[in-house]
Structure 1
Amino acid sequence: MRDDPLFILVVVAVLIVAGILLLGIGSFGKGGDFNKKYANKIMRWRIGAQFVAVLLILLFVYLRGGS
């Protein structure tokens, strides 16, 4: 499974979503001008990346799902 390019793409997408989420949570926790200016944009990026990640996961399950 580790050699499967689609699996690697899914893992990268999930890690990107996690990174964006941590960036958003960190900026929220710190507060300040950066949070006021970019918090909404960061969470929009997360939603878009999460949408792509979910689509890739569904594609992986559909194509590689056992029967």
Structure 2
Amino acid sequence: MNALLIIALVVAMGATAYVLVRGVIAMANGKDVSGEIQQNYMQKRVMFQAIAIVIVILILIAAGAGK
């Protein structure tokens, strides 16, 4: 179970980093005058970060229950 949670955490962290880089690239291009694309990337980044935090909490709970 812990291995599955760790894999899920790595995937969530990778998704967060990917969306962060895509958002920075979109901002650097300067084509989005309204800021809608950057806002969309920011919302996705926050969602992936929240998922990663929940997975960390589940890992900590599982580690505490094993003792």
Change (3 A) 1:35 1:53: farther
- CA contact 1:17–1:50 (8 Å) conserved in 2: yes
* Count of aligned residue pairs for this structure pair: 65
Runs of 4+ in 1 over 6 A off after TM superposition: none
- CA contact 1:27–1:39 (8 Å) conserved in 2: yes
For residue 40 of structure 1, what is the aligned residue in structure 2? 39
For residue 30 of structure 1, what is the aligned residue in structure 2? 29
Q: CA deviation at 1:48?
A: 1.0
For residue 9 of structure 1, what is the aligned residue in structure 2? 8
Gaps of 5+ in 2: none
Q: CA deviation at 1:37?
A: 3.5
- CA contact 1:27–1:34 (8 Å) conserved in 2: no
SS at match of 1:32: coil
TM-score (norm 1): 0.80
RMSD, aligned CA? 2.2
CA distance in 2, matches of 1:58, 1:31: 38
